[in-house]
A and B are shown apart, each in its own frame.
Chain A
Amino acid sequence: MEKANVDKETNSEIVRQFGARPELLVQILQAIVMRAGWIAEETILQLAAELNLSRADVHGVVSYYHDFRTEAPGAHIVKVCQAEACQAMGSRALTDHARSLLGTELHGTNDDVTLEPVYCLGNCACAPAVMINGKTHGRVDSGRFDELVGVMKEGA
C-alpha cells in the first residue's frame, strides 16, 4: 500500500519547525498525524533519534493518545460523537446507521473510509454531531448523514 511509505523528509521538516524541542513531542506528533494521518513504527524511531528521546518515550506517548493512529486510515475519516448529549438525540442509532452504510465497525476502514468514535465535538446544542474530514456537522439524522457521505465521496 502506497500510504505505508513514510515521508521522512516531511517529518524532519515538522521537527525543525518545532525547533526540535522534545517537550513539543505531542505537538510534533499531532502535526504529523494531521498531515499523514498516522504514525508509523519507523516514524517513532525517527522522532526518537531527532528529538534525543528513547524509543520507549515516543512509543509511550503515541500509544497513549487516541489521536495518534498507528495504522494508515482511509482517504476519508468519519467520526461520530458517542457522548451523552448526542446519545440523548439518537447517536447510538446514528452510529449503527453509519456502521451499516460504511460497512465497517468503529475504528475500522472500508472502501477508503475510516469510521471512528469521538467523545464530544462541543456541538452539544446541535446534536447529534459528526465530523467528516475535520469539519463538524450538527443536527445529523440518518438522511443527512447519507447526504454528507455522498458529498464526501464526490469530493474524493
Chain B
Amino acid sequence: MSAAKIYVPRETSAVSVGADEVALEIAREAKRTNTNIQLIRNGSWGASWLEPLVEVEVDGARIAYGNVSNADVAELFAAGLVEGGDHARRLGPTMEIDYLIKQDRWTFWRCGLINPLSLEDFRLHQGFNALEKALAEGPESVLDAVAESGLRGRGGAGFPTGIKWRTVADTNAAQKYIACNADEGDSGTFSDRMLMEGDPLGLIESMAIAGFAVGASKGYIYLRSEYPLTHAILSRALDLARNNGWLGANIQDSGFDFDIELHLGAGSYVCGEETAMLESLEGKKGIVRYKPPLPAHEGLFGKPTVVNNVVTLASVPNVINLGGKRYSEMGVNRSKGTLAFQLAGNIKRGGLVEKSFGVTLRELIEDWGGGTASGRRVKAVQVGGPLGAYLTAGQLDITLDYEAFVEIGAMIGHGGIVVFDDTVDMAQQARFAMEFCAIESCGKCTPCRIGSTRGVEVIDRMIAGEDREGNYDLLVELCDTMEDASLCAMGGMTPYPVRSVLNHFAEDFASSRDKQ
C-alpha cells in the first residue's frame, strides 16, 4: 500500500496553536503503529478557527479533521485516521466545508491545496503557466489583460493596477523595479502572510510577470519582521525558483532576466506606505516622500517602480490564465473581482474569506464568522485596519464596495474586519487610534507628528470629563487639520476611526472614566 498523505499546515496561525506539535506527534504515532504515511506541510485553507486542521487523502479526496491537538493523535490513529475514519474531530471532505465552498477563490485557490515548497506540486497546479503564457504572448498582452480585469491595488489604496503597470511600461529607463509590499501592518489583516506561506511560488511567478510586462529585471519583497515563519518559507521558495531556472538570467531560455531580493522591515508601521517602504528598501529611515514624483516615474533609487501589494500581484496569474474579462465579471460597480476578507478579533469563526465584492458585511460576520466569539452582541466593527472607521451594528448591511465605504466615511483598505463585542470601550479605541499614530508617525509632517499627541491629550480630557463640549469641538477641528494637511494616510486617515467614535459612540466618553 502506498503511503497515506497527511497534511498539517505550516502556517503562522496553525503553528501558533500547535500544528508543529501535532505534526511531530503524527510522525511519532505513524512510526509506533508502523503506518506508512507521507506527511505534507501545506499552507492554510484560511479557516483559522479550525486550526490545526489536519487532512488525510483517501481515494484522491481530502478528509478534514479540525482543531486537532497533539493529545488527539493516538486516538485519531486508533479511529483509522489514514482511512478517513470517524472521530469527533472529523469534519468530512475538505471540499464540502461550507466556509470554503461558498468562497470565490481566485487568488488563494492553491493555498491549503498544495505543498508550498514543492515545485512539482506547484507545476501540477498550473504553476508558472501564466508566466509561460506571458513570455509567449508578450508584454502588451499582459498589460491589456491586467487593465481589462479592473484589478485595483489590494494594499488599501485601490489604485487601478493596469494604469500603474502601463505608466511604468511607458516610462523609459535602463533600470526599472518591481517592489512587492509585504509590510502587512494593519491589525486584522493576514492575507499577504497566508499567501506567502501557502503559495510563495505563486507570488514569485506574479512578480516575474509584472517585471516582464513593464520591463523590470529586478524585484524586491519588503517583508515585515513580525513574520519570521513567512521569511523562512519565502526564502526557501526563492532558492527553489532560482535553482530551477524560474528566477535569474534568461528564465527558461526566454531571454528574460528577473531576480528577486527579499528584504526585512524593522517594525515600523509607516513603512507600509509605499514611499516610506522605498526609503527603507534603500537602507534609510522609513520616512514618507512627497508625491509627485510618483514611484511609477521615480521610485526605488529614483527609477520607475511598480509598487504593489502581495495580494494584488498574486491576483494576476489567473488574469493571464483565464482572461481579464473573467475577473472583471466578478464584483460590483468599480470594485471588480474578489477580495480576501479577513475575519478577526472577537469572532467565532475567524479566518480568510476570498469573496467577490458585493457581499455584505453582515454576511461575512454572521454567515461566515458566526457572530462574536464571546457570544455577546456586536458593538463595533473596524474595517480596513487601524486607519479604518468603526462601523456600528446598524451599518452591517453595507455591501463591500470601495466607493460605498467611502460614502459613509469608511474604507475597505486591505480587507481586515475586526469585530468587537459590547464590552468594548469606544473612547479607549479612539484614544488608541491617536496613540498608535503618535507611536508610528514618521515625523515628517506636523499634523501627524504633533496632531496625534495632541489628539491623545484631548481625548484624555474628554474621558476625564473636562469641558467635554469644548474638547469635542477641538477634536473635530484637529481631525480636520490632520485629514487635510497630512502627507500620507497615517496622519490623514487616523481621524477616520476617531470621527466614527465621535459620530456613533460619543456616549462612551462619558462612561469611560467609570470603567477605569
Contacts and interface: CB of A to CB of B under 8 A. Distances in A.
Given A118-B226, A125-B48, A126-B51, A139 B386 contact: no
B282 interface: yes
A85 B418 contact: yes
Interface stretch (B100-108, B210-218, B342-350): B342-350
Contacts of A52: none
A32 to B, nearest CB: 11
B165 to A, nearest CB: 25
A126 B13 contact: yes
B378 to A, nearest CB: 11
A139 B382 CA distance: 20
A27 B416 CA distance: 29
Contacts of B421: 88
Contacts of A26: 263-266, 280, 283-284
A61 B187 contact: no
Most chain A beta-carbon neighbours within 10 Å: one of B224, B285, B382, B439: B285
B268 A65 contact: yes
A61 B283 contact: yes
B12 interface: yes
B226 A88 contact: no
B13 A67 contact: no
Contacts of B373: 89
B177 interface: no
A65 B189 CA distance: 21
Interface string B198-229: 00000000000000000000000000111111
Nearest to A119: B269
Per CB-CB distance, the 7 closest pairs between chain A and chain B, nearest first, are: A125-B350, A83-B187, A88-B345, A124-B344, A66-B267, A138-B16, A125-B48
Given A30-B266, A120-B226, A136-B229, A85 B16 contact: no
A61 B15 CA distance: 33
A126 B48 contact: yes
Given A85-B344, A124-B344, 17 more contacts: A23-B283, A27-B283, A64-B285, A65-B267, A85-B416, A88-B345, A118-B267, A124-B188, A124-B416, A125-B13, A125-B344, A126-B350, A127-B344, A135-B15, A136-B12, A136-B15, A137-B17
Interface of A: 21-27, 29-30, 33, 60-61, 64-68, 83-89, 118-127, 129, 131, 134-139
B440 interface: yes
Nearest to B439: A119
B401 to A, nearest CB: 23
A35 to B, nearest CB: 13
A93 B292 CA distance: 44
B162 to A, nearest CB: 29
Contacts, number: 156
Contact of B185 (A24, A29, A119, A131): A119
B187 A120 contact: yes
B268 A122 contact: no
Nearest to B186: A120
Contacts of B282: 23
Interface string B261-295: 00111111100000000001111111100000000
Nearest to B185: A120
Interface SS of B by simple majority: mixed
B418 A124 contact: yes
Nearest to A88: B345
8 contacts: A60-B284, A64-B287, A84-B382, A89-B346, A119-B187, A125-B344, A135-B228, A139-B16
Interface SS of A by simple majority: mixed
Contacts of A22: 283
B190 interface: yes
B456 to A, nearest CB: 15
B420 to A, nearest CB: 5
Nearest to B270: A64
A12 B12 CA distance: 33
Nearest to B224: A122
Most chain B beta-carbon neighbours within 10 Å: one of A29, A68, A83, A122: A122
Most chain B beta-carbon neighbours within 10 Å: one of A29, A134, A135: A135
Contacts of A68: 266
B432 interface: yes
B193 interface: yes
B266 A88 contact: no
Most chain B beta-carbon neighbours within 10 Å: one of A64, A68, A138, A139: A64
Nearest to A140: B16
Given A26-B280, A65-B268, A85 B187 contact: yes
Interface in B428-446: 429, 432, 436, 439-440
A134 B225 CA distance: 10
A131 B224 CA distance: 14
Nearest to A23: B283
A137 B267 contact: no
Contacts of A124: 187-190, 342, 344-345, 350, 416, 418
B188 A85 contact: yes
A121 B432 CA distance: 18
Most chain A beta-carbon neighbours within 10 Å: one of B12, B266, B424, B432: B266
